[in-house]
Structure 1
Protein backbone atom coordinates (compact mmCIF):
# COMPACT_ATOMS: atom_id res chain seq x y z
CA UNK A 1 0.00 0.00 0.00
CA UNK A 2 1.40 3.39 -0.95
CA UNK A 3 2.88 5.14 2.04
CA UNK A 4 0.73 8.25 1.93
CA UNK A 5 -1.92 9.23 4.41
CA UNK A 6 -4.38 11.95 5.21
CA UNK A 7 -4.12 11.66 8.95
CA UNK A 8 -0.96 13.45 10.05
CA UNK A 9 0.33 16.96 10.02
CA UNK A 10 -0.33 20.35 11.60
CA UNK A 11 -3.78 21.76 12.17
CA UNK A 12 -3.70 25.18 10.60
CA UNK A 13 -5.55 27.09 7.95
CA UNK A 14 -9.22 26.91 7.11
CA UNK A 15 -11.13 23.70 7.53
CA UNK A 16 -13.14 21.59 9.95
CA UNK A 17 -12.69 22.02 13.69
CA UNK A 18 -10.73 19.43 15.70
CA UNK A 19 -13.99 17.93 16.99
CA UNK A 20 -15.32 17.63 13.44
CA UNK A 21 -12.08 15.99 12.27
CA UNK A 22 -12.31 13.38 15.04
CA UNK A 23 -15.99 12.80 14.29
CA UNK A 24 -14.99 12.06 10.68
CA UNK A 25 -12.30 9.68 11.91
CA UNK A 26 -14.79 7.82 14.11
CA UNK A 27 -17.17 7.46 11.15
CA UNK A 28 -14.30 6.21 8.98
CA UNK A 29 -13.35 3.55 11.54
CA UNK A 30 -16.95 2.43 12.22
CA UNK A 31 -17.83 -0.29 9.72
CA UNK A 32 -21.39 -1.22 8.73
CA UNK A 33 -22.68 -4.80 8.76
CA UNK A 34 -24.36 -5.51 5.40
CA UNK A 35 -24.74 -9.30 5.60
CA UNK A 36 -23.59 -12.39 7.52
CA UNK A 37 -19.91 -11.72 8.35
CA UNK A 38 -19.81 -9.06 5.63
CA UNK A 39 -19.06 -5.42 6.45
CA UNK A 40 -18.73 -2.16 4.58
CA UNK A 41 -15.91 0.32 5.17
CA UNK A 42 -16.61 3.88 4.09
CA UNK A 43 -14.38 6.19 2.09
CA UNK A 44 -12.38 8.95 3.72
CA UNK A 45 -13.87 12.39 3.17
CA UNK A 46 -11.60 14.30 0.82
CA UNK A 47 -9.37 11.28 0.24
CA UNK A 48 -7.43 11.22 -3.02
CA UNK A 49 -5.34 8.59 -4.75
CA UNK A 50 -4.40 5.51 -2.77
CA UNK A 51 -6.04 4.57 0.51
CA UNK A 52 -3.91 5.04 3.64
CA UNK A 53 -2.83 1.56 4.72
CA UNK A 54 -3.73 2.20 8.35
CA UNK A 55 -7.33 2.81 7.30
CA UNK A 56 -7.65 -0.64 5.72
CA UNK A 57 -6.00 -2.33 8.71
CA UNK A 58 -8.28 -0.50 11.14
CA UNK A 59 -11.48 -1.20 9.21
CA UNK A 60 -10.56 -4.88 8.88
CA UNK A 61 -9.93 -5.07 12.63
CA UNK A 62 -13.26 -3.34 13.31
CA UNK A 63 -15.04 -5.93 11.14
CA UNK A 64 -13.33 -8.78 12.99
CA UNK A 65 -14.32 -7.27 16.35
CA UNK A 66 -17.93 -7.25 15.19
CA UNK A 67 -17.97 -11.06 15.03
CA UNK A 68 -16.38 -11.81 18.43
CA UNK A 69 -18.26 -12.04 21.72
CA UNK A 70 -17.69 -13.55 25.16
CA UNK A 71 -15.64 -10.64 26.48
CA UNK A 72 -12.64 -11.45 24.28
CA UNK A 73 -10.44 -8.52 23.29
CA UNK A 74 -8.13 -8.09 20.30
CA UNK A 75 -4.54 -8.69 21.38
CA UNK A 76 -2.76 -9.01 18.01
CA UNK A 77 -3.17 -8.58 14.29
CA UNK A 78 -1.10 -9.47 11.26
CA UNK A 79 -1.87 -7.96 7.86
CA UNK A 80 -0.53 -8.32 4.33
CA UNK A 81 -1.04 -5.64 1.70
CA UNK A 82 -1.52 -6.95 -1.84
CA UNK A 83 -2.87 -4.07 -3.90
CA UNK A 84 -3.21 -0.36 -3.38
CA UNK A 85 -6.71 0.67 -2.35
CA UNK A 86 -8.51 3.36 -4.37
CA UNK A 87 -10.02 6.34 -2.50
CA UNK A 88 -12.80 6.55 -5.12
CA UNK A 89 -14.49 3.40 -3.82
CA UNK A 90 -15.59 1.95 -0.47
CA UNK A 91 -14.07 -1.26 0.90
CA UNK A 92 -15.89 -4.55 1.43
CA UNK A 93 -14.74 -6.63 4.40
CA UNK A 94 -15.44 -10.35 4.54
CA UNK A 95 -14.79 -12.06 7.89
CA UNK A 96 -13.93 -15.75 8.28
CA UNK A 97 -14.51 -17.25 11.75
CA UNK A 98 -11.49 -19.53 11.84
CA UNK A 99 -11.57 -20.43 15.55
CA UNK A 100 -13.65 -19.92 18.69
CA UNK A 101 -12.27 -21.36 21.90
CA UNK A 102 -12.94 -20.79 25.58
CA UNK A 103 -10.15 -18.22 25.95
CA UNK A 104 -9.13 -17.32 22.41
CA UNK A 105 -10.78 -16.63 19.06
CA UNK A 106 -9.20 -16.07 15.65
CA UNK A 107 -10.63 -14.15 12.72
CA UNK A 108 -9.42 -13.72 9.15
CA UNK A 109 -10.58 -10.72 7.11
CA UNK A 110 -10.39 -10.00 3.39
CA UNK A 111 -10.57 -6.34 2.36
CA UNK A 112 -11.94 -6.22 -1.17
CA UNK A 113 -12.31 -3.54 -3.84
CA UNK A 114 -13.57 -4.20 -7.35
CA UNK A 115 -13.85 -7.90 -6.61
CA UNK A 116 -10.12 -8.22 -5.77
CA UNK A 117 -8.49 -8.45 -2.33
CA UNK A 118 -6.31 -5.50 -1.36
CA UNK A 119 -5.45 -6.79 2.13
CA UNK A 120 -5.78 -9.87 4.28
CA UNK A 121 -5.73 -9.59 8.06
CA UNK A 122 -5.65 -12.19 10.82
CA UNK A 123 -6.59 -11.10 14.33
CA UNK A 124 -6.50 -12.99 17.62
CA UNK A 125 -8.79 -12.26 20.57
CA UNK A 126 -8.25 -13.24 24.21
CA UNK A 127 -10.52 -13.17 27.23
CA UNK A 128 -8.60 -11.05 29.82
CA UNK A 129 -7.10 -13.05 32.66
CA UNK A 130 -4.56 -12.70 35.47
CA UNK A 131 -1.05 -14.00 34.80
CA UNK A 132 2.69 -13.41 34.92
CA UNK A 133 3.67 -9.91 33.88
CA UNK A 134 6.79 -7.98 32.95
CA UNK A 135 7.78 -5.35 30.39
CA UNK A 136 11.39 -5.40 29.26
CA UNK A 137 11.16 -2.15 27.31
CA UNK A 138 11.24 1.21 29.06
CA UNK A 139 10.02 4.43 27.57
CA UNK A 140 12.95 6.45 26.18
CA UNK A 141 13.98 9.52 28.13
CA UNK A 142 12.45 12.16 25.86
CA UNK A 143 10.74 15.53 26.40
CA UNK A 144 7.03 15.42 27.14
CA UNK A 145 4.72 16.57 24.35
CA UNK A 146 3.84 19.81 26.13
CA UNK A 147 7.54 20.75 25.98
CA UNK A 148 7.75 20.30 22.19
CA UNK A 149 6.63 22.80 19.54
CA UNK A 150 3.59 21.96 17.40
CA UNK A 151 4.36 20.37 14.03
CA UNK A 152 2.98 23.46 12.29
CA UNK A 153 5.81 25.50 13.83
CA UNK A 154 8.54 22.97 13.09
CA UNK A 155 7.78 22.55 9.38
CA UNK A 156 7.98 26.30 8.77
CA UNK A 157 11.77 25.99 8.67
CA UNK A 158 11.74 23.77 5.59
CA UNK A 159 8.25 23.66 4.05
CA UNK A 160 9.05 26.17 1.29
CA UNK A 161 11.78 23.85 -0.01
CA UNK A 162 9.38 20.91 -0.46
CA UNK A 163 7.39 20.05 -3.60
CA UNK A 164 4.09 21.94 -3.90
CA UNK A 165 1.86 18.86 -3.33
CA UNK A 166 3.75 18.10 -0.11
CA UNK A 167 3.35 21.69 1.06
CA UNK A 168 -0.40 21.52 0.46
CA UNK A 169 -0.58 18.19 2.29
CA UNK A 170 1.26 19.53 5.33
CA UNK A 171 -0.98 22.59 5.58
CA UNK A 172 -4.25 20.64 5.77
CA UNK A 173 -6.04 20.07 9.08
CA UNK A 174 -5.64 16.56 10.49
CA UNK A 175 -7.46 14.29 12.89
CA UNK A 176 -4.13 13.22 14.43
CA UNK A 177 -1.52 15.58 15.85
CA UNK A 178 2.17 14.62 15.83
CA UNK A 179 5.05 16.11 17.79
CA UNK A 180 8.46 14.79 16.77
CA UNK A 181 11.17 14.58 19.40
CA UNK A 182 13.90 14.31 16.76
CA UNK A 183 12.31 15.83 13.65
CA UNK A 184 14.69 15.64 10.67
CA UNK A 185 14.76 18.33 8.00
CA UNK A 186 13.65 16.30 4.96
CA UNK A 187 15.55 18.58 2.59
CA UNK A 188 19.04 18.22 4.09
CA UNK A 189 19.84 14.96 2.24
CA UNK A 190 22.04 13.74 5.11
CA UNK A 191 21.98 10.28 6.74
CA UNK A 192 20.51 10.04 10.23
CA UNK A 193 20.10 7.33 12.85
CA UNK A 194 17.28 4.92 12.01
CA UNK A 195 15.35 5.97 15.12
CA UNK A 196 12.28 8.15 15.60
CA UNK A 197 10.41 9.25 18.72
CA UNK A 198 7.03 10.81 17.96
CA UNK A 199 4.23 11.80 20.32
CA UNK A 200 0.76 11.49 18.77
CA UNK A 201 -2.91 11.79 19.70
CA UNK A 202 -6.24 12.50 18.05
CA UNK A 203 -7.03 16.19 18.24
CA UNK A 204 -10.32 16.00 20.20
CA UNK A 205 -11.96 13.62 22.70
CA UNK A 206 -13.06 10.18 21.46
CA UNK A 207 -16.08 8.21 22.73
CA UNK A 208 -15.52 5.95 25.76
CA UNK A 209 -15.37 2.75 23.71
CA UNK A 210 -12.29 0.60 24.35
CA UNK A 211 -12.66 -1.28 21.06
CA UNK A 212 -12.83 2.00 19.15
CA UNK A 213 -9.61 3.15 20.81
CA UNK A 214 -7.94 -0.13 19.79
CA UNK A 215 -9.13 0.29 16.21
CA UNK A 216 -7.95 3.92 16.18
CA UNK A 217 -4.54 2.88 17.51
CA UNK A 218 -4.27 0.28 14.74
CA UNK A 219 -5.01 3.10 12.29
CA UNK A 220 -2.28 5.29 13.77
CA UNK A 221 0.40 2.58 13.93
CA UNK A 222 0.91 2.86 10.16
CA UNK A 223 2.17 6.43 10.55
CA UNK A 224 5.92 7.23 10.52
CA UNK A 225 6.93 3.57 10.96
CA UNK A 226 8.24 2.74 7.47
CA UNK A 227 10.06 6.06 7.25
CA UNK A 228 12.53 4.88 9.89
CA UNK A 229 14.21 2.61 7.32
CA UNK A 230 14.93 5.63 5.08
CA UNK A 231 16.69 7.80 7.67
CA UNK A 232 20.20 6.27 7.29
CA UNK A 233 20.05 6.90 3.53
CA UNK A 234 19.19 10.61 3.49
CA UNK A 235 16.00 10.17 1.46
CA UNK A 236 12.34 10.52 2.41
CA UNK A 237 8.77 10.75 1.14
CA UNK A 238 8.33 14.48 1.75
CA UNK A 239 11.16 15.66 -0.47
CA UNK A 240 10.18 13.30 -3.27
CA UNK A 241 13.50 11.44 -3.08
CA UNK A 242 11.91 8.11 -2.06
CA UNK A 243 8.85 6.03 -2.73
CA UNK A 244 7.57 2.95 -0.97
CA UNK A 245 4.75 0.64 -0.09
CA UNK A 246 3.89 -1.37 3.01
CA UNK A 247 4.12 -5.12 2.53
CA UNK A 248 2.98 -6.38 5.92
CA UNK A 249 2.02 -4.90 9.26
CA UNK A 250 1.70 -6.38 12.74
CA UNK A 251 0.39 -4.99 16.02
CA UNK A 252 0.39 -6.52 19.50
CA UNK A 253 -1.88 -4.80 22.03
CA UNK A 254 -0.45 -5.19 25.54
CA UNK A 255 -2.70 -3.00 27.69
CA UNK A 256 -6.50 -2.92 27.85
CA UNK A 257 -7.01 0.60 29.18
CA UNK A 258 -5.49 3.32 27.04
CA UNK A 259 -6.81 6.30 25.14
CA UNK A 260 -5.74 7.67 21.79
CA UNK A 261 -7.07 11.14 22.71
CA UNK A 262 -4.23 11.48 25.23
CA UNK A 263 -0.60 11.62 24.15
CA UNK A 264 1.14 8.35 23.25
CA UNK A 265 4.82 8.03 22.34
CA UNK A 266 5.71 6.05 19.21
CA UNK A 267 9.34 4.94 19.41
CA UNK A 268 10.48 3.33 16.13
CA UNK A 269 13.68 1.98 14.69
CA UNK A 270 14.82 0.09 11.62
CA UNK A 271 17.21 -2.79 12.36
CA UNK A 272 17.74 -3.70 8.69
CA UNK A 273 17.29 -2.48 5.13
CA UNK A 274 18.33 -4.34 1.99
CA UNK A 275 17.24 -5.71 -1.34
CA UNK A 276 14.68 -2.95 -1.83
CA UNK A 277 12.94 -3.65 1.49
CA UNK A 278 13.09 -2.06 4.92
CA UNK A 279 12.18 -3.66 8.27
CA UNK A 280 10.86 -1.49 11.09
CA UNK A 281 9.94 -2.10 14.73
CA UNK A 282 7.90 0.15 17.02
CA UNK A 283 6.95 0.50 20.67
CA UNK A 284 4.06 2.64 21.89
CA UNK A 285 4.04 4.05 25.43
CA UNK A 286 1.58 6.21 27.33
CA UNK A 287 2.78 9.31 29.17
CA UNK A 288 3.18 7.24 32.37
CA UNK A 289 5.69 4.97 30.62
CA UNK A 290 3.48 1.89 30.23
CA UNK A 291 4.18 -0.20 27.14
CA UNK A 292 0.81 -0.08 25.37
CA UNK A 293 1.58 -1.87 22.09
CA UNK A 294 4.35 -3.18 19.85
CA UNK A 295 4.48 -3.05 16.06
CA UNK A 296 6.48 -4.39 13.13
CA UNK A 297 6.34 -3.59 9.45
CA UNK A 298 8.30 -4.42 6.32
CA UNK A 299 7.90 -2.41 3.17
CA UNK A 300 9.30 -1.79 -0.28
CA UNK A 301 11.56 1.27 -0.32
CA UNK A 302 13.10 2.73 -3.47
CA UNK A 303 15.12 5.78 -4.35
CA UNK A 304 13.46 8.23 -6.73
CA UNK A 305 15.80 9.24 -9.53
Structure 2
Protein backbone atom coordinates (compact mmCIF):
# COMPACT_ATOMS: atom_id res chain seq x y z
CA UNK A 1 0.00 0.00 0.00
CA UNK A 2 1.38 3.37 -0.98
CA UNK A 3 -1.49 5.86 -0.56
CA UNK A 4 -4.72 6.59 1.27
CA UNK A 5 -6.67 5.09 -1.65
CA UNK A 6 -4.95 1.74 -1.10
CA UNK A 7 -5.73 1.95 2.61
CA UNK A 8 -9.41 2.68 1.99
CA UNK A 9 -9.62 -0.28 -0.38
CA UNK A 10 -8.45 -2.41 2.54
CA UNK A 11 -10.65 -0.89 5.24
CA UNK A 12 -13.98 -0.66 3.39
CA UNK A 13 -15.50 -4.12 3.72
CA UNK A 14 -17.60 -6.11 1.28
CA UNK A 15 -21.25 -6.37 2.23
CA UNK A 16 -22.51 -9.93 2.81
CA UNK A 17 -25.85 -9.34 4.55
CA UNK A 18 -27.50 -6.63 6.66
CA UNK A 19 -25.15 -7.15 9.61
CA UNK A 20 -22.31 -9.22 8.12
CA UNK A 21 -19.27 -8.03 6.17
CA UNK A 22 -16.00 -9.52 4.95
CA UNK A 23 -12.51 -8.19 4.28
CA UNK A 24 -9.00 -9.21 3.30
CA UNK A 25 -5.62 -8.42 4.83
CA UNK A 26 -2.36 -6.74 3.91
CA UNK A 27 0.93 -7.37 5.70
CA UNK A 28 2.77 -4.52 7.42
CA UNK A 29 5.90 -6.67 7.76
CA UNK A 30 4.80 -9.16 10.43
CA UNK A 31 3.58 -12.73 9.85
CA UNK A 32 0.15 -12.08 11.40
CA UNK A 33 -2.69 -9.72 10.58
CA UNK A 34 -2.00 -6.20 11.84
CA UNK A 35 -4.20 -5.36 14.81
CA UNK A 36 -4.89 -1.85 13.54
CA UNK A 37 -6.35 -3.32 10.37
CA UNK A 38 -8.83 -5.48 12.28
CA UNK A 39 -9.76 -2.56 14.53
CA UNK A 40 -10.42 -0.26 11.58
CA UNK A 41 -12.31 -2.89 9.58
CA UNK A 42 -14.47 -3.61 12.63
CA UNK A 43 -15.17 0.12 12.97
CA UNK A 44 -16.19 0.15 9.30
CA UNK A 45 -18.56 -2.76 9.88
CA UNK A 46 -20.12 -1.11 12.94
CA UNK A 47 -20.55 2.23 11.14
CA UNK A 48 -22.36 0.50 8.27
CA UNK A 49 -25.19 -0.48 10.67
CA UNK A 50 -25.65 3.01 12.16
CA UNK A 51 -28.36 4.78 10.16
CA UNK A 52 -29.09 7.85 12.27
CA UNK A 53 -25.99 9.96 11.58
CA UNK A 54 -24.39 9.31 14.94
CA UNK A 55 -20.61 9.52 15.27
CA UNK A 56 -18.27 6.97 16.82
CA UNK A 57 -17.00 8.24 20.17
CA UNK A 58 -15.39 5.14 21.70
CA UNK A 59 -14.38 1.56 21.01
CA UNK A 60 -13.05 -1.21 23.25
CA UNK A 61 -11.59 -4.35 21.72
CA UNK A 62 -9.84 -7.61 22.57
CA UNK A 63 -7.52 -9.53 20.27
CA UNK A 64 -8.25 -13.20 20.95
CA UNK A 65 -6.09 -15.02 18.40
CA UNK A 66 -3.56 -14.12 15.72
CA UNK A 67 -5.15 -13.61 12.32
CA UNK A 68 -4.09 -15.47 9.18
CA UNK A 69 -3.03 -13.06 6.43
CA UNK A 70 -4.27 -15.37 3.68
CA UNK A 71 -7.79 -16.02 5.00
CA UNK A 72 -10.70 -13.55 4.66
CA UNK A 73 -12.02 -12.07 7.89
CA UNK A 74 -15.78 -12.11 8.51
CA UNK A 75 -17.29 -9.35 10.67
CA UNK A 76 -20.68 -9.88 12.33
CA UNK A 77 -22.35 -6.85 13.90
CA UNK A 78 -24.89 -7.15 16.72
CA UNK A 79 -27.13 -4.13 17.33
CA UNK A 80 -27.19 -3.85 21.11
CA UNK A 81 -28.91 -0.49 21.52
CA UNK A 82 -30.30 2.49 19.66
CA UNK A 83 -31.29 4.91 22.39
CA UNK A 84 -32.24 8.55 22.42
CA UNK A 85 -28.61 9.74 22.26
CA UNK A 86 -26.35 6.70 21.88
CA UNK A 87 -26.13 3.63 19.66
CA UNK A 88 -24.05 0.60 20.72
CA UNK A 89 -22.70 -2.14 18.47
CA UNK A 90 -20.79 -5.37 19.12
CA UNK A 91 -18.53 -6.67 16.34
CA UNK A 92 -17.19 -10.23 16.21
CA UNK A 93 -14.41 -11.04 13.74
CA UNK A 94 -13.76 -14.62 12.72
CA UNK A 95 -11.79 -16.74 10.26
CA UNK A 96 -13.13 -20.18 9.33
CA UNK A 97 -15.54 -20.11 12.32
CA UNK A 98 -12.67 -19.24 14.68
CA UNK A 99 -13.29 -16.00 16.59
CA UNK A 100 -10.14 -13.88 16.56
CA UNK A 101 -11.41 -10.50 17.81
CA UNK A 102 -14.33 -8.80 19.57
CA UNK A 103 -15.16 -5.11 19.85
CA UNK A 104 -17.81 -2.94 21.47
CA UNK A 105 -18.33 0.52 20.00
CA UNK A 106 -20.58 3.43 20.92
CA UNK A 107 -21.96 6.17 18.65
CA UNK A 108 -23.30 9.51 19.89
CA UNK A 109 -25.58 12.11 18.34
CA UNK A 110 -24.10 15.58 17.90
CA UNK A 111 -24.44 17.65 21.08
CA UNK A 112 -22.85 20.73 22.65
CA UNK A 113 -21.37 20.93 26.15
CA UNK A 114 -18.36 21.91 28.24
CA UNK A 115 -14.92 21.54 26.69
CA UNK A 116 -11.34 21.24 27.94
CA UNK A 117 -8.27 19.22 26.96
CA UNK A 118 -4.74 18.32 27.99
CA UNK A 119 -2.20 20.53 26.27
CA UNK A 120 0.24 19.10 23.74
CA UNK A 121 3.96 19.09 24.58
CA UNK A 122 5.50 22.40 23.53
CA UNK A 123 9.18 21.41 23.20
CA UNK A 124 8.96 18.87 20.38
CA UNK A 125 10.75 19.18 17.05
CA UNK A 126 8.50 19.87 14.07
CA UNK A 127 8.11 17.26 11.31
CA UNK A 128 10.22 19.27 8.85
CA UNK A 129 13.20 18.89 11.20
CA UNK A 130 12.91 15.10 11.48
CA UNK A 131 13.67 11.95 9.51
CA UNK A 132 10.88 9.64 8.37
CA UNK A 133 11.11 5.86 8.54
CA UNK A 134 11.98 5.91 4.83
CA UNK A 135 14.72 8.50 5.44
CA UNK A 136 16.14 6.35 8.24
CA UNK A 137 16.18 3.33 5.93
CA UNK A 138 18.02 5.23 3.20
CA UNK A 139 20.54 6.97 5.47
CA UNK A 140 21.35 4.11 7.84
CA UNK A 141 20.59 1.10 5.64
CA UNK A 142 23.92 -0.67 6.27
CA UNK A 143 23.70 -0.26 10.04
CA UNK A 144 20.12 -1.34 10.74
CA UNK A 145 19.39 -4.77 12.27
CA UNK A 146 17.91 -7.08 9.62
CA UNK A 147 14.47 -7.25 11.27
CA UNK A 148 14.16 -3.47 11.58
CA UNK A 149 15.44 -3.00 8.03
CA UNK A 150 12.83 -5.43 6.65
CA UNK A 151 10.09 -3.60 8.59
CA UNK A 152 11.12 -0.20 7.20
CA UNK A 153 11.25 -1.58 3.65
CA UNK A 154 7.50 -2.30 3.57
CA UNK A 155 5.51 0.27 1.58
CA UNK A 156 2.96 2.09 3.73
CA UNK A 157 0.25 4.69 3.11
CA UNK A 158 1.53 6.69 6.09
CA UNK A 159 4.75 8.62 6.79
CA UNK A 160 6.01 8.35 10.38
CA UNK A 161 8.57 10.73 11.91
CA UNK A 162 9.67 9.94 15.47
CA UNK A 163 10.88 12.95 17.44
CA UNK A 164 13.74 10.88 18.90
CA UNK A 165 15.60 8.18 16.98
CA UNK A 166 17.14 5.59 19.28
CA UNK A 167 20.31 3.88 18.08
CA UNK A 168 19.34 0.18 17.84
CA UNK A 169 22.99 -0.83 18.27
CA UNK A 170 23.32 1.10 21.53
CA UNK A 171 21.70 -1.05 24.20
CA UNK A 172 20.53 1.33 26.92
CA UNK A 173 17.27 1.87 28.77
CA UNK A 174 15.18 4.82 27.63
CA UNK A 175 12.37 6.91 29.14
CA UNK A 176 8.86 5.40 28.83
CA UNK A 177 7.79 7.92 26.20
CA UNK A 178 7.41 7.98 22.44
CA UNK A 179 6.29 10.94 20.32
CA UNK A 180 5.68 10.34 16.62
CA UNK A 181 4.42 12.68 13.90
CA UNK A 182 2.45 11.02 11.10
CA UNK A 183 0.80 12.00 7.84
CA UNK A 184 -1.18 10.16 5.17
CA UNK A 185 0.17 9.83 1.63
CA UNK A 186 -2.07 10.77 -1.27
CA UNK A 187 -5.17 12.93 -1.70
CA UNK A 188 -6.99 13.37 1.60
CA UNK A 189 -9.59 15.88 0.41
CA UNK A 190 -13.30 15.13 0.90
CA UNK A 191 -12.90 12.46 3.59
CA UNK A 192 -15.92 12.42 5.90
CA UNK A 193 -15.50 12.13 9.67
CA UNK A 194 -16.49 8.46 9.79
CA UNK A 195 -13.81 7.57 7.24
CA UNK A 196 -11.19 9.69 9.02
CA UNK A 197 -11.97 7.93 12.29
CA UNK A 198 -11.52 4.51 10.68
CA UNK A 199 -8.17 5.55 9.22
CA UNK A 200 -7.06 6.99 12.56
CA UNK A 201 -8.05 3.73 14.25
CA UNK A 202 -5.79 1.84 11.83
CA UNK A 203 -2.87 4.16 12.57
CA UNK A 204 -3.39 4.05 16.35
CA UNK A 205 -1.96 0.52 16.61
CA UNK A 206 1.40 1.68 15.23
CA UNK A 207 4.15 2.79 17.66
CA UNK A 208 2.15 2.51 20.86
CA UNK A 209 3.98 -0.35 22.60
CA UNK A 210 7.40 1.16 21.86
CA UNK A 211 7.01 3.29 24.98
CA UNK A 212 6.54 0.14 27.10
CA UNK A 213 9.70 -1.39 25.59
CA UNK A 214 11.86 1.70 26.07
CA UNK A 215 12.65 1.28 29.81
CA UNK A 216 13.98 -2.22 29.05
CA UNK A 217 15.86 -1.44 25.83
CA UNK A 218 19.22 -2.51 27.29
CA UNK A 219 17.91 -6.10 27.39
CA UNK A 220 14.67 -6.31 25.38
CA UNK A 221 14.13 -5.78 21.67
CA UNK A 222 11.62 -6.99 19.08
CA UNK A 223 13.85 -9.95 18.25
CA UNK A 224 13.99 -11.47 21.73
CA UNK A 225 10.46 -10.97 23.01
CA UNK A 226 7.11 -12.38 21.97
CA UNK A 227 4.84 -9.39 21.41
CA UNK A 228 1.18 -9.01 20.52
CA UNK A 229 -1.64 -6.54 21.10
CA UNK A 230 -3.98 -7.89 23.77
CA UNK A 231 -6.61 -5.16 23.91
CA UNK A 232 -7.16 -1.70 22.50
CA UNK A 233 -9.41 1.19 23.46
CA UNK A 234 -9.93 4.49 21.73
CA UNK A 235 -11.92 7.66 22.35
CA UNK A 236 -12.71 10.26 19.67
CA UNK A 237 -13.19 13.87 20.74
CA UNK A 238 -13.12 16.33 17.84
CA UNK A 239 -13.24 16.53 14.05
CA UNK A 240 -9.94 16.93 12.23
CA UNK A 241 -8.31 16.48 8.84
CA UNK A 242 -5.27 14.67 7.49
CA UNK A 243 -3.91 17.53 5.39
CA UNK A 244 -1.18 18.35 7.92
CA UNK A 245 0.96 16.29 10.27
CA UNK A 246 -0.63 14.82 13.40
CA UNK A 247 1.19 13.89 16.61
CA UNK A 248 0.80 10.64 18.56
CA UNK A 249 2.20 11.37 22.04
CA UNK A 250 2.54 8.11 24.01
CA UNK A 251 3.61 7.10 27.52
CA UNK A 252 3.84 3.77 29.36
CA UNK A 253 2.91 3.89 33.06
CA UNK A 254 3.56 0.18 33.66
CA UNK A 255 5.04 -3.12 32.52
CA UNK A 256 4.78 -6.28 34.59
CA UNK A 257 3.99 -10.00 34.34
CA UNK A 258 4.98 -10.17 30.63
CA UNK A 259 2.53 -7.36 29.76
CA UNK A 260 3.15 -3.72 28.93
CA UNK A 261 0.59 -0.94 29.17
CA UNK A 262 0.68 2.24 27.08
CA UNK A 263 -1.64 5.17 26.52
CA UNK A 264 -1.44 8.14 24.20
CA UNK A 265 -3.07 11.28 22.88
CA UNK A 266 -3.37 12.28 19.22
CA UNK A 267 -3.13 15.99 18.40
CA UNK A 268 -3.27 18.24 15.37
CA UNK A 269 -0.12 20.24 14.72
CA UNK A 270 -1.67 23.29 16.39
CA UNK A 271 -2.42 21.34 19.56
CA UNK A 272 -6.07 20.29 19.25
CA UNK A 273 -6.66 16.95 21.01
CA UNK A 274 -8.64 14.72 18.65
CA UNK A 275 -8.39 11.25 20.23
CA UNK A 276 -6.93 9.17 23.05
CA UNK A 277 -5.74 5.56 22.91
CA UNK A 278 -4.90 2.86 25.47
CA UNK A 279 -3.46 -0.58 24.90
CA UNK A 280 -2.02 -3.51 26.83
CA UNK A 281 0.30 -5.81 24.94
CA UNK A 282 2.17 -9.02 25.48
CA UNK A 283 5.91 -8.52 26.21
CA UNK A 284 7.07 -12.05 26.95
CA UNK A 285 10.85 -12.59 27.05
CA UNK A 286 12.00 -15.47 24.90
CA UNK A 287 14.41 -18.01 26.38
**TM-score w.r.t. length of structure 1:** 0.88
Partner of 2:229: 246
Query: Is 1:98 matched with 2:83?
Result: no
Asked if residue 203 in structure 1 is aligned to residue 203 in structure 2, the reply is no
2:114 is matched with: 132
Q: 2:58 aligns with which of 76, 83, 88?
A: 76
Q: For 2:91 and 2:29, how far apart are their aligned partners in 1?
A: 23
- The CA deviation at 1:35 is 0.7
- In structure 2, relative to structure 1, the CA distance for the partners of 1:82 and 1:31 (3 Å cut) is same
- Alignment pair present for 1:263 and 2:252: no
**Structure 1 residues 86 and 279, CA, compared in 2 at 3 Å: closer, same or farther?**
same
TM-aligned CA deviation for residue 297 of structure 1? 0.2
Q: Answer yes or no: is the 8 Å Cα contact 2:130–2:163 preserved in 1.
A: yes
Moved more, 278-287 or 48-57: 48-57
Q: For structure 1, list consecutive stretches of 5 or more residues without a partner in the other structure.
A: 1-15
Distance 2:184 2:221 in 1: 24
SS of the counterpart of 1:185?
coil
Hey, what's the Cα distance between the residues in 1 that align with 2:144 and 2:28?
22
- Aligned equivalent of 1:169, options 148, 151, 169: 151
State how 1:165-244 maps to structure 2 within 5 Å. 165-206=147-188, 207-234=190-217, 235-237=220-222, 240-244=223-227
CA contact (8 A) 2:28 2:34 kept: no
Partner of 2:94: 112
Aligned counterparts of 1:132 and 1:44: Cα–Cα separation in 2: 41
1:143 aligns to 2:125 (yes or no): yes
Q: Distance in 2 between matches of 1:139 and 1:99?
A: 38
1:243 Cα offset (Å): 2.7
For 2:147 and 2:120, locate their aligned partners in 1 and report how far apart those are by CA, in whole Å: 38
Alignment partner, residue 44 of structure 1 = 26
Greater RCO between the two (CA within 8 Å, min separation 6)? Answer: 1
C-alpha RMSD of the superposition: 1.9
Asked if structure 1 preserves the Cα contact closer than 8 Å seen for 2:27 and 2:33, the reply is: no
What's 1:11 paired with?
none
Give the count of matched residue pairs: 284
The separation in 1 between residues aligned to 2:64 and 2:134, in whole angstroms, is 34
What are structure 2's unaligned runs of at least 5 residues? none
Task: Tell whether 2:46 aligns with 1:64.
Answer: yes
Q: Could you give the per-residue CA deviations for residues 253-278 of structure 1, whole angstroms, max 9, x where no partner exists?
A: 011x2123431100001000011110
Rounded to whole Å, the distance in 1 between the matches of 2:152 and 2:30 is 15
Distance in 2 (CA, whole Å) between partners of 1:161 and 1:147 is 22
